[in-house]
Amino acid sequence: MLSKLYKPAGRAELLATHQAIIPFIHRTPVLTCQSIDDLLGAQYFFKCENFQKIGAFKMRGGASAALRLSESERAKGLATHSSGNHAQAVASSARAMGVPAYIVMPVDAPKVKVAAVRGYGAEITFCPNTPEDRQAELDKVVDRTEAAFIHPFDDYGVIAGQATAAMELIEQVDVKLDAIMCPVGGGGLLAGTALASHYFSPQTRVIAGEPEQVDDAYRSFHSGQVERNIDNRTVADGLRTTLSNRTLGIIREHVDDIWLVSEAEIVEAMRIIWERMKIIIEPSCAVPLAAAFKHKEALSGQRIGIILTGGNVDVNKLPF
């Protein structure tokens, strides 16, 4: 059994986390693409978490957090509020572990996402789409069921789970990576990636991509405190959240840089991955490649790993 974490996972804890979640995740493939390498004049390795169970890396963090509960805690079920991939990760983890899941979703959540969560057998409660309403509804659910709340990113157990994507990438690529890139929203994946690099490939820099429209992580990274977004309109709908003190602490310590990209750059990078790699990724997932295009010269001739975070997109509502 994994232990509860009150500080960022160390090397041994990360290895134990990976071992523990193996039954709940896919070891996703790392793909390369000659034509993208030619466009960028560098060598890219894409860790395909769009092929992960539930279609996104979030499965790793969900399973990692759920496995840190005691058996009696877990038996009461897992709860969260989310309209996105984290909801599916929690619902799917609960089903795999044979315990109930309680998911609070906004009334206007996309039908396809509601159906996916329901498909994993979760009980769904709908609420108005404001942070306050979500939290209030979740509190009611937790009061009633005594289920354990699994936060999408503000949790060292979740962060340790997300770290395993970069750990696998480092293992799967038989060259030394000069940098690993991923997107940043709440910072769970970025913090985990930074820990993985720190312990398992310390010469590898970690660089995040973030939409200009929601540049809170960029500003937080430079100011040292959690900054908010005034607006959150971006095509990269998975990256609208702000950091927490936990994720910011790890990011400030171990991340090398955060690069901003425009909406048009995100959509163009998404199209390039669709057309050149023939794989389906969601807009949030294209952000690091967009950043790589923008900083082509800085990365020229290098070996870069990119974590492709997810592929859950409504194919009837594409941004191009």
Pairing of strands 30-31, 43-48: antiparallel
Site for its own copies (CB under 8 A): which residue of 235, 281, 304, 307?
281
C-beta of 26 vs 294, nearer to its own copies: 26
x/- letters, 229..268, toward its own copies (CB under 8 A): ----------------------------------------
If one asks whether residue 44 binds its own copies (CB under 8 A), the answer comes out as: no
C-beta of 46 vs 259, nearer to its own copies: 46
C-beta of 256 vs 275, nearer to its own copies: 275
- Give the three-class secondary structure for 32: coil
Residue closest to 37 by CA, chosen among 303, 291, 288: 303
Q: Could you please report the per-residue DSSP string of 177-221?
A: -SEEEEE-SSSHHHHHHHHHHHHH-TTSEEEEEEEGGGTHHHHHH
If one asks whether residue 225 binds its own copies (CB under 8 A), the answer comes out as: no
Under a CB-based contact definition with an 8 Å cutoff, are residues 136 and 104 in contact?
no
What are the distances in angstroms from CA 185 to CA 141, 158, 231, 239? Answer: 26, 14, 14, 4
Distance between CA 295 and CA 274 in Å, rounded? 21
Distance in Å, CB of 153 to its own copies, minimum = 23
Q: Which stretch binds its own copies (CB under 8 A): 57-65, 159-167, 274-282, 289-297?
A: 274-282
If one asks whether residue 29 binds its own copies (CB under 8 A), the answer comes out as: yes
Site for its own copies (CB under 8 A): which residue of 275, 296, 298, 300?
275
Distance in Å, CB of 57 to its own copies, minimum = 13
Tokens of residue 136, six digits: 């209030």
Q: Which residues pair with 310 in a beta bridge?
A: 56
Number of residues that bind its own copies (CB under 8 A): 18
Q: Which stretch binds its own copies (CB under 8 A): 121-129, 179-187, 188-196, 308-316?
A: 308-316
C-beta of 36 vs 243, nearer to its own copies: 36
If one asks whether residue 39 binds its own copies (CB under 8 A), the answer comes out as: no
Quick count: other Cβ atoms within 10 Å of Cβ 222? Answer: 10
Distance between CA 189 and CA 55 in Å, rounded? 15
If one asks whether residue 278 binds its own copies (CB under 8 A), the answer comes out as: yes
Site residues (CB under 8 A) for its own copies, limited to 49-68: 50-51, 55
Site residues (CB under 8 A) for its own copies, limited to 84-143: none
Under a CB-based contact definition with an 8 Å cutoff, are residues 219 and 227 in contact?
yes
132-137: long-range pairs with CB below 8 Å, 24+ = 134/81, 134/104, 134/106, 135/81, 137/81, 137/104
Site for its own copies (CB under 8 A): which residue of 99, 127, 280, 307?
280
Tokens of residue 226, six digits: 């959690």
Q: Which stretch binds its own copies (CB under 8 A): 151-159, 215-223, 251-259, 273-281?
A: 273-281
Site for its own copies (CB under 8 A): which residue of 118, 271, 294, 303?
271
If one asks whether residue 320 binds its own copies (CB under 8 A), the answer comes out as: yes
Please give the helix or strand (H or E) that residue 135 lies within, else none: helix 131-145
If one asks whether residue 38 binds its own copies (CB under 8 A), the answer comes out as: no
Which residue's entry shows tokens 């923008």? Answer: 294
Site for its own copies (CB under 8 A): which residue of 135, 274, 294, 295?
274
Chain positions contacting its own copies, by CB under 8 A: 29, 31, 50-51, 55, 271, 274-275, 277-281, 311, 315-316, 318, 320
